Amino acid sequence: MSWTSWAVGLLCPLLACSVLTTGGVPRYQLAQDTAMSATPPPLALQGSLSSATQASFLTAIDMTDPQTGFDAGYWHNRFSVWTTDDGGSRWVRHAVPWVPKYDPNQGSPAPTVLFVSTKMGWIAWIAKVGQVNRLTVLRTTDGGRTWTRHMQEVLPVANYVQQISFSSDQNGWIRTFSGGAMNQGDTSIFGTTNRGQSWKLMSSTGGYVPNKKATPHALPEFDVPMPMVFTNANEGWIATGNFMLTQKSIAMLYHSTTAGRTWYPIRLPVPRPFQRKFFATVGYQPVFSGESGTIPFEFMGRPNALVSYHTTNGGKAWTAGTTVSLGNQLPLVSCFLNPNIGWIVGSTGTDLVRTHNAGQSWSSVPVTGALASMLYDGYSVQQLNMVTPEVGWMMVENVNGISSAVSTRVLKTINGGLTWK
C-alpha cells in the first residue's frame, strides 16, 4: 500500500465547511445559481444526492471567517461553487465553466480549489489531451460569480494537481504529482507572479518517471502527501514525511528560499520511542505566523503517535512537542488555526485532540452526538476547518461499497469542538 492511499483526506489546507446533505434533514439550505432563493435545488432536501448518473457531493470547503465562505463540489455531475455570507444558513450556487463533468468510471481527482479572500480564488486541474498533459487554472475576483481561464501544456510527470498555495494576491504555487507506486513518485512545483494569469515550472523531481526537465535540488521522489506553505514570495516549506531505521533525526521537512526553484532538507529530532525502530512519517499542513511556525507529523510504527514541531525563529531551529499516542488510527485530519492553536481527529472517529500551545500539551475531546452517529454509520472525516478557537466546520464522507456513490455531510461547532450539529 502506498503512502498516498494511507493519506486520502489527510490534509486540511485551510478549507472550511458547508453542506450537501444526503438523506435525513439537511443542516443548511442551498439556493440555485446566483439567485438568492428560499427554494433549494432539486434533491437537496430529499434522499441521496449521489447516484451512478447524477452525482452531487462536496470535494472542498473553504470558510474565510465565521460568516463568509465557500463550498466546491459536483451538482448533478457538474462542478459548482457555493457561497455563504451568513455562517452557512443560506448558500448560493455558482456553476463553474470549463471543468470536466464528473465521471465515476474515469477515476480522475476533482479539481483543487483555493480561496484567499471573499473575492479571490482559483481552481486548477490537469487533463490528458491526446498525448499532452494540459494544466487549466481558473481565477475569480468576484467570489465565484465569474471566472477567467488559463491553459498550458505541462511536463508528462505532472498528472494531478494536489495543492494550490498563495502567499499574496500576486504570488502563488501549484504542486503536482505523477502518481506513484512502491512509495515513489515525482513532484513538480509551478509558480506565478501575476495572480495566476501564467505559470512556469519552478522545480521537478526526476527518477520514478523519466523526466527530461528534472531540476537539481528538487523534492524527494516520495509517494507521500507533501503539504506546502509559502510565507512570502520566496520562502516555502513542504512537509514530506520519510521512512527510516535507527535514526535520531531525519529529513522530513524541506525548505526553499528561491520561490520553489530549489529545496533543501531540514533534519528534525525523532521522538525517543521511535529511535532504533523502523518507522514512517506523514507530514501535515505547515502553518506560520511571522517567525513562529508549527508542523504536525504522524509517526507510524508501534505505536502510532503524533508530534508537532515548533519554531520561534523562522525555521532556524525546531523543537518537538509532546508525543500523542494514536493507537492504530490512520489516517488523521488536522487543522491549525495558527501556530499555537490546532486540532487533530482520526478519520474514523478517534477522540478529537486540541492544543493551545503549539503541541506542548494536548487535551482530548470525546467524539459524541451527531458526529459519533455518522461515523458509526460509515462516514469518515475528510476535512476539518476551524476559523476561530470556537467556530468551525467538519466534512464527513460516505462511499457506497456497491455503487461507489459518494455522500457528504457537514457539521458545525460553536464551542471549539465539544459538540457538533
Supply the pLDDT for residue 366.
85
Report, as an integer, the average pLDDT of 181-198. Answer: 89
Write out pLDDT tens, residues 286-317: 999 999 999 999 887 766 788 999 999 999 99
The grid coordinates of residue 230 equal: 509559502
Supply the pLDDT for residue 273.
74
Do 399 and 21 form a contact (C-beta atoms < 8 A)?
no
pTM for this model (two decimals): 0.86
Do 339 and 288 form a contact (C-beta atoms < 8 A)?
yes
Q: Is the pLDDT confidence value at 250 over 90?
A: no
Sheet holding 90-95, edge to edge: 29-31, 90-95, 78-84, 69-75, 57-63
The grid coordinates of residue 299 equal: 509517526
Phi, psi for 47 (deg, rounded to 5): 60, -160
Q: Is the pLDDT confidence value at 153 over 90?
A: yes
Buried b (16+ CB within 10 A) or exposed e, 44-64: beeebbbbeebbbbbbbbbbb
Residue 65: pLDDT band (50, 70, 90) is: very high
Do 163 and 112 form a contact (C-beta atoms < 8 A)?
yes
Q: Where are the domains positioned within the chain?
A: 227-362
Report, as an integer, the average pLDDT of 332-357. Answer: 88
Supply the pLDDT for residue 286.
95
Q: Is the pLDDT confidence value at 144 over 60?
A: yes
Do 396 and 420 form a contact (C-beta atoms < 8 A)?
no
Do 204 and 216 form a contact (C-beta atoms < 8 A)?
no
Instruction: Give 113's strand partners.
Output: 123
User: When comparing pLDDT for 307 and 247, which is higher?
Assistant: 307
Supply the pLDDT for residue 53.
59
Collapsing DSSP to helix, strand or coil, 208 comes out as coil
